[in-house]
């Protein structure tokens, strides 16, 4: 703040409070809807204060699901989402650490070419190669499996770049010293590079967990068997049931369950989240 | 920038990159090459015969009024999402840069929507805008506007724009705030001493200095609006009513996966590849200039 302008500061607080409220409104309404009973929705407009069916609705969706959309319980879907998010996050970090290590600390033929091939994945999101990728997954027998859900998403140019960038800032003396002490590539990686990359790994993990949890198009394509359905896909099936109006109290309970894990991760690990967000965009 | 000291080993580096390279080649490069190949051949329904047709698929695509319509609404959608979410993000960031008390709490309250999947964001707004029970639809009815996104294409478009922009405000807020905090205080102070009032200072000093951040965010927001919003459209409007919200990523999915038009869908894929390729190149060109090691 350059000078004291109480009115302007007050106005700033006003903007922020109003902004926070506007951003919060959809979440509040969803939460309220998830605590109502079906007949409560006969009121027009719907009530804006929570009702008394919180436990009932959440237990229903977690264990039985929504009857009109096939009655699949949301509990297993959340487990699928968790498996997918964790596998993608850990897998991306692991293979990116290794390939960034190779690209920075080794000189080998085709190094530049491999770097550019990894770079090219940035320009090839699933959306631009839907059918051929689906065909590859089908030919490899990966449809309706956890491998099919995660493996094709595990290559990551951004994570590789982030680690490359980070490795480049590690002082050269460390490798010289390690080599004098007789450390081989694996030992240097494990005892020196990995501990130095801890915060980067954590920040990236936060971002990638959210990325994995929120996947949509790929799970939609490769999982037709409801046993592998993730919660984000499950909710789409609930909303678009053809012959009945969506049961909003149950749909919204599912929506709250679907958004809770990533939101909790962002709020609790805000510092890491911001770091990860800023660094992966460089 | 390169390391001077490296390991000398010919086998290990290949083992290290093997996993990344295998996944990249099998699930990215090969399918992309297939899409390009299919976009210039014509195949019969049983896949028994195929022949090279040059750019016929593309000619057909750009002669199709539905596809041209899809391009048009995608541009409108992306411009609206980028414009709204960036303007709002900048407003919040400017306010947050000014306050001292409660800054951390405000930040938390403004960043959480980033964590939502676009599809979930869409579902939340679907409830608010539900023609019978939604409170926003109700408010609009009271104001004399008969909102119904199931029948009116413009209403459906507004719904997906609002939901997509709402989720993206957090992102723009964070980057604008970082940009604002990087502006040297001395510049703003000097202007204040010369008698420039806050609004004048904002437009003549702060806003121009933010232009690198704004440009970067514009590209990122366009990529987001073009490619990350498939789930949002699929879970809410499904491209309807009457194709009013069938943006490019949704159309390539529907024509390919549901309509099974291989050549047409492949040609659409190639068009999207060109778009994302251009945006990525622009983004990296710009970042190369900006980042100082």
Summarised one tens digit per residue, pLDDT across range B164-180 is 999 999 999 999 999 99
What is the largest distance, in Å, between two alpha-carbon atoms of chain A?
Answer: 77
Question: What is the model's pLDDT at position A250?
Answer: 87
The string of pLDDT tens digits covering residues A104-128 is 998 888 888 998 898 888 888 888 8
Question: What is the model's pLDDT at position B163?
Answer: 95
Q: Residue A260, Cα to own-chain centre: how many angstroms?
A: 12
Q: Which CATH number fits domain B56-290: 3.40.50.12170, 3.30.300.30, 3.90.1150.170, 1.10.3720.10?
A: 1.10.3720.10
Q: Inspect the interface and report whether the beta carbons of B111 and A274 lie closer than 8 Å.
A: yes
- Measured CA to CA, the distance from residue B268 to residue B133 in angstroms comes to 38
- CATH class of residue range A76-230: mainly alpha
Could you give the angle at the alpha carbon of B225 between the alpha carbons of B70 and B72, nearest 5°? 25
Distance, in angstroms, between A58 CA and closest chain B CA? 17
Nearest to B6 among A9, A105, A168 (CB): A105
Given a cut of 80, whether residue A2 has pLDDT beyond it is: no
| Helices (H), ranges, B45-194 | 56-62, 65-98, 103-111, 118-128, 135-142, 153-181, 185-193
Kindly report the backbone phi and psi dihedral angles of residue B50, in degrees, each rounded to the nearest multiple of 5, phi listed first.
Answer: -145, 145
User: What is the ipTM score, two decimals?
Assistant: 0.89
- List own/partner pairs for B58-63 with CB under 8 A and 24 or more apart: B58/B267, B58/B270, B58/B271, B60/B263, B60/B264, B60/B267, B61/B264, B61/B267, B61/B268, B61/B271
Given a cut of 90, whether residue A245 has pLDDT beyond it is: no
Q: Inspect the interface and report whether the beta carbons of B17 and A98 lie closer than 8 Å.
A: yes
Paired tokens of B232: 């949002």
Q: Inspect the interface and report whether the beta carbons of A168 and B1 lie closer than 8 Å.
A: yes
Distance, in angstroms, between A160 CA and closest chain B CA? 9
Residue environment code for A106-133, b if the CB has 16+ CB neighbours within 10 A, otherwise e: bebeeeeebbebbebbbbbbbbbbbbbb
Asked if residue B135 lies in contact with residue A48, where contact means CB atoms within 8 angstroms, the answer is yes
Distance, in angstroms, between B160 CA and closest chain A CA? 14
The string of pLDDT tens digits covering residues B41-60 is 777 666 666 777 777 888 88
Q: Where along chain B do its domains lie?
A: 12-52, 56-290
Which residue, B226, B230, B221, B232, is CA-closest to B88? B221
Distance, in angstroms, between A73 CA and closest chain B CA? 18
- Measured CA to CA, the distance from residue B67 to residue B64 in angstroms comes to 5
Asked if residue B98 lies in contact with residue A9, where contact means CB atoms within 8 angstroms, the answer is yes
For the ranges B34-48, B75-89, B140-154, B259-273, the one whose mean pLDDT is highest: B75-89
% of chain A beyond a pLDDT of 70: 95
pTM of the model: 0.90
Nearest to A45 among B133, B166, B175 (CB): B133
The string of pLDDT tens digits covering residues A14-52 is 999 999 999 999 999 999 988 888 888 777 778 888 888
B143 at interface of A, judged by CB pairs closer than 8 A: no
Summarize the confidence of residues A225-241 as an average pLDDT: 85
Q: Where along chain A do its domains lie?
A: 76-230
Count, residues in chain B: 293
Q: Which residues of A touch B17 (CB under 8 A)?
A: 98-99, 102-103, 114
Asked if residue B160 lies in contact with residue B233, where contact means CB atoms within 8 angstroms, the answer is yes
Question: What is the model's pLDDT at position B291?
Answer: 42
């Amino acid at each position: 703040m350059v000078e004291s302008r109480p009115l302007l500061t007050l106005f700033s607080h006003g903007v922020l409070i109003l902004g926070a409220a506007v951003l919060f409104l959809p979440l509040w309404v969803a939460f309220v809807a998830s605590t109502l009973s079906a007949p409560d929705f006969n009121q027009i407009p719907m009530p804006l204060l929570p009702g008394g069916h919180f436990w009932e609705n959440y237990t229903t969706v977690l264990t039985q699901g929504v009857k009109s959309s096939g009655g699949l319980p949301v509990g297993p879907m959340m487990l699928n989402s968790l498996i997918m998010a964790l596998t993608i996050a850990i897998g991306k970090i692991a293979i990116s650490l290794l390939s960034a290590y190779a690209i920075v600390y080794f000189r080998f033929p085709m190094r530049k070419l491999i770097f550019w091939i990894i770079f090219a994945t940035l320009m090839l999101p699933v959306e631009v190669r839907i059918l051929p990728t689906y065909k590859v997954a089908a030919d490899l027998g990966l449809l309706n499996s956890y491998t099919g859900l995660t493996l094709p998403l595990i290559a990551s140019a951004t994570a590789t770049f982030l680690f490359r960038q980070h490795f480049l800032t590690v002082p050269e003396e460390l490798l010289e010293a390690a080599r004098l002490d007789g450390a081989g590539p694996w030992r240097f990686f494990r005892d020196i590079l990995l501990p130095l990359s801890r915060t980067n790994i954590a920040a990236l993990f936060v971002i990638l967990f959210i990325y994995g949890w929120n996947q949509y198009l790929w799970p939609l394509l490769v999982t037709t068997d409801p046993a592998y359905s993730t919660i984000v896909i499950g909710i789409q099936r609930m909303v678009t049931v053809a012959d009945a109006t969506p049961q909003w109290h149950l749909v919204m309970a599912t929506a709250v369950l679907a958004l809770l894990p990533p939101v909790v991760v962002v709020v609790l690990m805000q510092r890491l989240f911001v770091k990860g967000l800023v660094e992966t965009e460089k | 920038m390169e390391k001077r000291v490296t390991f000398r080993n010919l086998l290990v580096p290949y083992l290290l990159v093997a996993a990344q390279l295998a996944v990249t080649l099998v699930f990215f490069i090969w399918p992309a090459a297939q899409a390009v190949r299919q976009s210039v051949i014509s195949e019969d329904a049983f896949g028994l015969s195929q022949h090279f047709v040059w750019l016929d698929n593309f000619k057909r695509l750009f002669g199709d009024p539905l596809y041209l319509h899809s391009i048009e609404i995608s541009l409108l959608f992306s411009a609206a999402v980028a414009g709204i979410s960036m303007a709002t993000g900048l407003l919040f960031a400017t306010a947050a840069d000014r306050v001292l008390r409660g800054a951390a709490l405000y930040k938390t309250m403004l960043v959480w929507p980033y964590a939502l999947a676009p599809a979930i964001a869409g579902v939340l707004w679907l409830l608010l805008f539900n023609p019978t029970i939604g409170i926003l639809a109700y408010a609009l009815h009271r104001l004399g506007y008969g909102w119904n996104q199931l029948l009116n294409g413009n209403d459906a478009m507004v719904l997906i724009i609002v939901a997509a922009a709402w989720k993206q405000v957090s992102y723009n807020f964070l980057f604008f705030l970082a940009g604002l905090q990087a502006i040297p205080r001395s510049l703003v102070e000097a202007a204040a001493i010369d008698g420039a009032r806050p609004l004048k200072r904002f437009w003549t000093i702060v806003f121009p200095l933010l232009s690198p951040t704004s440009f970067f965010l514009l590209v990122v927001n366009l990529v987001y609006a073009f490619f990350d919003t498939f789930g949002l459209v699929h879970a809410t409007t499904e491209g309807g009513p009457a194709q009013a919200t069938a943006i490019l990523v949704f159309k390539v999915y529907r024509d390919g996966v549901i309509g099974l038009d291989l050549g047409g869908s492949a040609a659409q894929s190639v068009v999207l590849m060109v778009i994302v390729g251009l945006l990525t190149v622009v983004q990296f060109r710009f970042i190369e200039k900006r980042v100082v090691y």
